[in-house]
Structure 1
Amino acid sequence: MGGVPSLRSRALSVALIATGRRRRFASAEAVRARVAQTARRPASHLPPRSLGRIAEVSRAFVGAWPVYDISPRGSEAVAQVLYVHGGAYINELVRPHWSMIRTLVARARARVVVPAYILAPRGTADRNVPVAADLLSGLIESGGAGGTVLIGDSAGAGLALAAAQRLRDRTGAQPSRIVLISPWLDVTMSHPAQPDIERADPLLARPGLAEAGRLYAGTLAADDPRVSPLLGSFEGLAPLTVFTGTRDVLTTDSRELLRRARADGVDVEFHEEAGLPHGYPLLPVPEGRVARDRIVDLVRAAAEL
């Protein structure tokens, strides 16, 4: 665990509180209003035009999913990444996601495959997990450049982990490594430590998250492992790297993952940063830069496998 958070990180948390970002998850009604707004005016998931300066960008469809394929311009990729974005299952790709993807392409020299998966309530776990597992399977089977790293942040980490579990059950195949950034792995929001942590969280609140989780669960129970992969088996999964911060109400998911995965014999590299909020590896703060450096190193290491 890191020590005192940097001045920039503390200032960012203050700014997030001041702008009222947590109101988006303050209640089930707030989440339903957000979903209704998105249904009326769908948000764009298009990559920024600036990405084309350093990468070859193409798009195909896997079923109803637009899937972006992004490779370094002018050189061969040395590894491949499946990147599954966060957003509580109700929000599209946004600028911090694309910034991370740019880092993976430019610095890790990776081919990055990015699904713009169908959002809840249309996109539910019983529909999305099999498609994500198929994407992961296809990347692993294709071989391509180097190894395959599965990366997910927040809700995307939950979908990524559930896809890895499904693929393990189906064929036993696994990526070279699974990287989970501030993962949301248990949508029941029932951990007894969460109320205390929530008071210091500048971004997230349990009522809205529970509603977003309910929408994503669809007809499944919230504790079904397809919805909440923390409650599934970790046996036979690829090595895991996890990043979390102590001002994140979801840090309990990361701590439980550490305990359960190691009990199932899985190697876990665990990074918990004191005083950092949800998604800090995607943020423009010193601790985020250190986390991104580590992720780049992990992807480069996959190229040597």
Structure 2
Amino acid sequence: MPSLRSRALSVALSAAGRRRRFASADAVGARVARSARRPASHLPPRSLGRVADVSRTFVGAWPVYEVAPLGAEPAAQVLYLHGGGYVDELVRPHWALVRTLVTRARARVVVPAYILAPRGTADRTVPVATDLLSGLIASGGAGGTVLLGDAAGAGLALAAAQRLRDRTGEQPSRIVLISPWLDVTMSHPDQAAIEASDPVQARPGLREAGRLYAGTLATDDPRVSPLHGTFAGLAPLTVFAGTRDVLATDSRELLRRARAEGAEVDLHEEAGMPHGYPLLPVPEGRAARERIVELVRSAAEL
């Protein structure tokens, strides 16, 4: 049963109208238009600099942040791809997760602020993410590299892992996906029932955000929707999902399809939890973050 704190937070999210962000195609279009007029900041909070060494470089047009432990050699490295429906920038919960990985797992975390849709489309974004992953593996060895993404960032992470496998056969030591958005068509028949209790996500706006990210590609192209790709030869996958997340169907389908192809998948589906619960300040979220820290530490020992 969900904790009292998580139930209260779900009520608060509903009351705050979080679903309005993706309630319709028009709502997403308005968000994109506002962002074009006044782009949101992707800068890390200043407080992160008190506990970590933070630097920034550029890969093409992408600002790429590197966050590392202060005064210590990193024990592992993480490429973290943030969520936001491909239309929203990094926000404080993303940076809070980065802070946890740096301070608790002693990881060096590479965080790209990738170009958002509609300027950033899958045909451009996936190759750059793949190159970042390949470079990180080459710099530190596959045994100490974890690929981590949440929501849309998890879809980008899986697409990059598939592309890297096809290109060179390389893989990180593990892939960790938080509430992954793996099929932007939003066509699974179980989603309608889940959507009724989802306090955060709604299908109409997600479909529109997915269409913008697809650009000239079909929305079921594996670069856009990696659930339609193949899974043999991928690194072991650890997936976190909540049953009150309309995207939970993507995690369940990933488990079924990937295992059928012989891939190693570990799904943690938490009853009553909303989208992105491992990033939330609730007991279930803290437990999930502890598990992620353990996975990163384990990568350092390989």
Report the secondary structure of 2:278's partner residue. Answer: helix
Q: Could you tell me whether the CA contact under 8 Å between 2:147 and 2:175 is conserved in 1?
A: yes
Whole-Å separation in 2 of the counterparts to 1:251 and 1:269? 14
1:286 matched to 2:283:
yes
> Which residue number corresponds to residue 88 of structure 1?
85
Q: Deviations over 1:149-208 (max 9, x none)?
A: 000000000000000000000000000000000000000000000000000000000000
Amino acid paired to 1:165? Q
Residues 1:194 and 2:203 are matched in the alignment: no
**Aligned equivalent of 2:124, options 98, 118, 127:** 127
CA RMSD, 1 decimal: 0.8
Post-superposition CA distance 1:75-131 (Å, at most 9, x none): 110000000000000000000000000000000000000000000000000000000
Q: Note the C-alpha offset of 1:143.
A: 1.7
**TM-score if structure 1 supplies the norm length?**
0.98
The answer to whether structure 1 residue 152 and structure 2 residue 155 are counterparts is: no
Distance in 1 between residues matched to 2:266 and 2:286, nearest whole Å:
17
Q: Is the 8 A contact 1:77 1:145 kept in 2?
A: no
Is 2:220 aligned against 1:223? Answer: yes
Contact 1:79–1:302 (Cα < 8 Å) also in 2 = yes
**TM-score, L = length of structure 2:** 0.99
Q: Is the 8 A contact 1:80 1:144 kept in 2?
A: no
Aligned residue type for 2:169: G
Unaligned runs of 5+ in 1: none
Q: 1:38 aligns with which of 31, 35, 38?
A: 35
Kindly provide the CA deviation profile for residues 189-233 of structure 1, in whole angstroms up to 9, marking residues without a partner as x.
Answer: 000000000000000000000000000000000000000000100
**C-alpha distance in 2 between matches for 1:303 and 1:284:** 27
Distance, in Å, in 1 between the alignment partners of 2:203 and 2:213 is 15
- Within a 5 Å distance, the mapping from 1:102-121 to structure 2 comes to 102-121=99-118
| Separation in structure 2 between the aligned mates of residue 250 and residue 108 of structure 1, nearest angstrom | 28
Structure 1: 4+ residue segments shifted above 6 A: none
Q: Is the 8 A contact 2:171 2:235 kept in 1?
A: yes
Do the aligned partners of 1:78 and 1:145 also contact (CA within 8 Å) in 2? no
> Which amino acid is 1:216 matched to?
Y
Residue of structure 1 aligned with 2:268, choices 246, 271, 275: 271
Q: How many residues align?
A: 302
Note the C-alpha offset of 1:144: 6.1
Alignment of 1:137-176 (within 5 A): 137-143=134-140, 147-176=144-173
Which residue in 1 is equivalent to 2:73?
A: 76
After superposition, what is the alpha-carbon deviation per residue over 1:41-81, rounded to whole angstroms, capped at 9, x for unaligned? 00000011111111111100001100001100011100000
Q: What secondary structure does 2:272 align onto?
A: strand
> Which amino acid counterpart does residue 73 of structure 1 have in structure 2?
L
Deviation, 1:269, is 1.1
Partner secondary structure for residue 77 of structure 2: strand
Identity percentage over the alignment?
82
State the distance in 2 between where 1:117 and 1:10 align: 33
Counterpart of 1:301 in structure 2 is 298
Equivalence map 1:6-21=2 (5 Å): 6-21=3-18
* Displacement of 1:145: 9.7
